[in-house]
Amino acid sequence: MPAVKEHNRAMKEKKPLTTGKEKILDVFTGSDAPVSVAVVALGFLAGTLLMLAVGRNPAGMYSAIVQVVTGWDIRRSVHNVRYIGEWIVASLPLILCGFSMGFAAKTGLFNIGAEGQYIAGLTAAQLVALFGPRVQVLHWALACLAAVAAGGAWGGISGFLKAKFSVSEVVSTIMMNYIAFYASRYVMMKAPGANTYKTPNFPETARLSSPFLESITNGSRLNYGLYLTIAAMLIYRVIMDKTSLGYAMRATGLNKEAARYGGINVNGTITAAMAIAGAFAGLAGATVSLGVFSYGRILSEQEGYGFDGIAVALVGNSTAFGTALSGLLFGMLKSAQPLMQSRQIPKEIASIIMGLVVIFISLRAGVKLLMEWRAKTALLARGKRQGDIQGDIQKNGEGAME
């Protein structure tokens, strides 16, 4: 019976449902780390090709990046570790705002309000720096705590609106960004001695300056914000991976209704997640206001750290360590922009690379959907084929009995 023979032959062959090309895609869609590495490489490749297309030498971009990361100026054979310190300083707020976005994303929320939470933290830190007790360590510690509390409260408002009234966190956080910005301008301009640009200088007790970090980086602005960011990374990891609250947040992010059925207080979890996310962004405001500047600033525009944090979290897959590495990458590109200009490389190239990295990593979801569709189609086709063979066998059996 030909149908039986064909069935037996197909079972012996056991042909795989996926091809070699699909297996490669499986590797990149099944694990987060290879995807991040691949998209960063693609971003740099695209940036290199773009520079060649406009007649610029890509070596200028790469020598600028080497100088930022190692302090070594290849052109003049001069080493200055200050560049490393400034790279880390530029990366710290990006990492913290990345934590803000990533923490909320683990709970299924899209925190586009890290910018407003950053501004709330910056404003609170500056007020405590100007009017707080001028006691060494205590002063800047209180300012940082105020920044964390202000950012947490600002994020918690959006979380409460989402949990209690089902208000989209995207809409509420965007509105809260503008409220924070204009409120900060109004409040800081009321400070004694302030003008439309700045306030009087902070007392030294309020600043995050670290003589040790400055000395080992040849007078860079590297400050205690480095230790605060490392502590924030550990707190992120512990809360999300080692606590019942983190479990509840991850469960809510995966399936809110299932989490509620399992006894999780979904409303409280959403509010807490946005509050903690806001606290990270608020700390970013403190590291910038107290670590980089010696005076309080009257913001003339939103600085974009919160929006950059979205890209940082996406590339870092919303994990503590991955987001930290991603923040260092984006900080490296931002720090390299002035050096690129000195080598006749448009500074916009760095922004283009960052944008391309985000675009490439967003394609991962599309690749996953395509592979799921192809696997489903292959399974349906194989099932149909097996059904046809079984039908032929049944018919042949009935014919033999007659």
* Strand duo 78-79 + 198-201: pairing: unpaired
State pLDDT tens for residues 199-257: 999 999 999 999 999 999 999 999 999 999 999 999 999 999 999 999 999 999 999 99
DSSP SS3 for 31: coil
The rounded distance, in Å, linking the Cα atoms of 214 and 223 is 7
Residue 252 CA to its chain's centroid (Å): 20
Round to whole Å and give the CA distance between 36 and 54.
27
Q: What's the pLDDT tens digit per position in 41-91?
A: 999 999 999 999 989 999 999 999 999 999 999 988 999 999 999 999 999
3-state secondary structure of 302: coil
Q: How does strand 78-79 pair with strand 72-73?
A: antiparallel
| Predicted confidence (pLDDT) at residue 10 exceeds the cutoff of 60 | no
Please tell me the predicted confidence (pLDDT) of residue 377: 82
Tell me what the pLDDT averaged over the chain comes to.
Answer: 89
The Cα 133–Cα 312 span in angstroms is 36
Among positive and negative, which fits the CA dihedral 283, 286, 288, 291? negative
The number of angstroms, rounded, from the C-alpha of 134 to the middle of its chain's C-alpha atoms is: 35
Mean pLDDT within 145-167: 97
What's the average model confidence in pLDDT over 186-205?
95
Q: Look at 21-30, 52-61, 101-110 and tell me which has the smallest mean pLDDT.
A: 21-30
Contacts of 76 (CB under 8 A, 6+ apart): none
Q: Is the pLDDT of residue 361 over 80?
A: yes
Non-local CB neighbours of 349 within 8 Å, separated by 6+ positions: 47, 50, 51, 61, 340
Amino acid at 92: L
Residue 14 has pLDDT above 60, yes or no: no
Confidence of residue 139 (pLDDT cuts 50, 70, 90): very high
SS (H, E, C) 77-136: CEECCHHHHHHHHHHHHHHHHHHHHHHHHCCCCCCCCHHHHHHHHHHHHHHHHHHCCCCC
What is the distance between the terminal CA atoms of the chain, rounded to a whole angstrom?
15
Helix 82-105 and helix 305-315: axis angle, to 10°?
80
Q: What is the pTM of this model?
A: 0.88
pLDDT one-digit tens code per residue, 253-280? 999 999 999 999 999 999 999 999 999 9
Question: Residue 342 above 80 pLDDT?
Answer: yes
